Amino acid sequence: MARNDSLTDLSVVRQPVETAQGLPNAHYIDEGVFEEEKHAVLFANWAGLAVASEVPEIGDAKPIEFLGIPLLLVRDRADKVRVFQNTCRHRGMVLVTEPKKIEGAIRCPYHSWCYSTAGKLVSTPHVGGAGFNTHEAINKDELGLIEVRSHIYFDTVFINVDGKAEPFEVVHADLLDRWKEFDQPMYHGGAESCFDLEVKTNWKLAVENYCESYHLPWVHPGLNSYSRLEDHYHIQEPNKYSGQGTLVYKQLQGPDDAVFPDFKGLDEKWNTGAEYVAIYPNVLLGAQRDHCFSIVLQPNTLSSTTEHIHLYYAEPKTSEDMRSRNAHLWKTVFEEDIFVVEGMQKGRHSPLFDGGRFSPAMDGPTHNFHAWVAGKVQEHRDMQDA
Amino acid sequence: MSDLNDAILAAHARSDGRALVGLYTQAADGANDTNTSCFFLTYAYIYALELGMAEADTLYVRLDANGRV
């Protein structure tokens, strides 16, 4: 791959927030840098792909393209969610092209090689000639589907495409500990509790906007009545994650002041508190006493991103009307952010824009993310040089 | 055989894997030699395997008996 360090100087990004500048324009508008970041940031780390609830039943399979890679999300016979390259080991044919239930085996539509839901190659029809289904040169044990490393947290399916990252539990040990109280069953709210937003922006700008509370009074004036800027605090762990917390989380109330049931055993700080964390590179999580959410940012191209939003509750059966209202509320908030992330994307085409200056008081979480990206890209460049 | 052939083609046309299992098994049963029989049994087995049908087990046994799996 061509080196891109002639395009961007990352040293200034990794300086302390007081003197740092943001990632250079090329990280948002240059195809070469996008390709570099694809490997350095998205393939080399634990990137969000989907949520496990997208394959709720055994045998459910869903094809998903991730940065051009055809992947297959499957819930196998043992109820384990797996991610495979959606490619037959024979002639490279894509196996599954639309969501479906695998009743028995995954059959390649080309020559009908068949795989179990656990990825094992189970049959190779006519591979030894008509009616001869074995051949000494074809060892089925060596030709199972290629599985992509995956880990599920907050129902979110994280993948490490290059297979070289430290285990998820190691990389994100701090966050897992911070939110260990939420390590309990959470239930997807169903069809009305998930929605997608198509955004004309580089995926990183959605992360950056999510991390900080600075914009809240300006972009989400409706939140001011109960969630004022001064009620928020920064969350920032260098080289790990960042986000924001609030001290005045207010539950949605339904008829007769009904509320969603709480997650069990939470500390009393969660009575009025909530936290919103970007788990790098591309997943945005929200933790609240009565519901959580996961947003998987799917980078489609350099300047287009799909935000997949899923809401979860503490109990499997909650008021459908309230779930619908809650989803509508969050959709309104997230839609309010669209003009910002699209506007920042357009702004990156100003050739003399220098990445921008951070407010040391307000932009720490955003700078934390920039510094992490810059570090990962620099690591990648250093590896290329070695 | 012509009727069976037509039925197989029709089942393929409507992507009716369950019907194909029975039809290919029927074709295998009517074949005059082992190779032809195993050729058809392979199709029956693969569709049964894909669809998780119980017939997959017995079809496998028949193919295995002829050293074909």
Residue B12: domain span: 2-65
Please report which confidence band the pLDDT of residue A121 belongs to, taking 50, 70 and 90 as the band edges: very high
Chain B interface test: which of A58, A60, A124, A132 (most B C-beta within 10 Å): A132
- In tens, the pLDDT along A169-178 reads 999 999 999 9
Q: How many domains does chain B have?
A: 1
For the cut 60, the answer to whether the pLDDT of residue A4 exceeds it is: no
- In tens, the pLDDT along A84-118 reads 999 999 999 999 999 999 999 999 999 999 999 99
A104 with B45: Cβ contact below 8 A: no
Please report which confidence band the pLDDT of residue A6 belongs to, taking 50, 70 and 90 as the band edges: low
With contacts defined as CB-CB under 8 Å, which chain B residues touch A132? 38, 68
With contacts defined as CB-CB under 8 Å, which chain B residues touch A134? 68-69
Question: Among partner residues A112, A130, A133, which is closest to B69 by beta-carbon distance?
Answer: A133
Q: Which residue, A231, A60, A54, A81, is CA-closest to A147? A: A81
- In tens, the pLDDT along A123-159 reads 999 999 999 999 999 999 999 999 999 999 999 999 9
- In tens, the pLDDT along B14-48 reads 999 999 999 999 999 999 999 999 999 999 999 99
Tokens of A79: 């109820």
Q: Which residue, A251, A254, A249, A262, is CA-closest to A319? A: A254
pLDDT given for residue A213 in this prediction: 82
Please tell me the pTM assigned to this model: 0.95
For the cut 50, the answer to whether the pLDDT of residue A1 exceeds it is: no
How far apart are the C-alpha atoms of A199 and A249, rounded to whole Å? 27
pLDDT given for residue A185 in this prediction: 96
Quick check: A23 and A355 in contact, CB under 8 A?
yes
Q: Which residue, A333, A50, A328, is CA-closest to A192? A: A328
* A126 lies within 8 A of chain B by CB: yes
A104 with B68: Cβ contact below 8 A: no
* Interfacial A residues in 65-124 facing B (CB < 8 Å): 103-107, 112, 114, 122-123
A132 with B43: Cβ contact below 8 A: no
Rounded to the nearest angstrom, the minimum Cα separation between A129 and chain B is 9
CA dihedral of B14, B20, B26, B30, whole degrees rounded to 10? 80
CB atoms under 10 Å from CB of A299, counted, come to 24
- In tens, the pLDDT along A338-367 reads 999 999 999 999 999 999 999 999 999 999
Question: Among partner residues A104, A126, A131, which is closest to B50 by beta-carbon distance?
Answer: A104
B38 with A103: Cβ contact below 8 A: no
pLDDT given for residue A226 in this prediction: 63
| Strand duo A106-107 + A114-115: pairing | antiparallel
- Give me the domains of chain A, ranges plus CATH numbers: 26-44+184-385 (3.90.380.10), 48-153 (2.102.10.10)
User: E-strand spans in A81-217?
Assistant: 81-85, 100-101, 106-107, 114-115, 121-123, 147-153, 156-160, 187-188, 194-199
With contacts defined as CB-CB under 8 Å, which chain A residues touch B43? 125
Rounded to the nearest angstrom, the minimum Cα separation between A345 and chain B is 46
With contacts defined as CB-CB under 8 Å, which chain A residues touch B53? 104
With contacts defined as CB-CB under 8 Å, which chain A residues touch B52? 103-105
For the cut 80, the answer to whether the pLDDT of residue A224 exceeds it is: no
A112 with B63: Cβ contact below 8 A: no
- List all residues 6 or more positions away from A350 whose beta carbon is below 8 Å from its beta carbon: A25
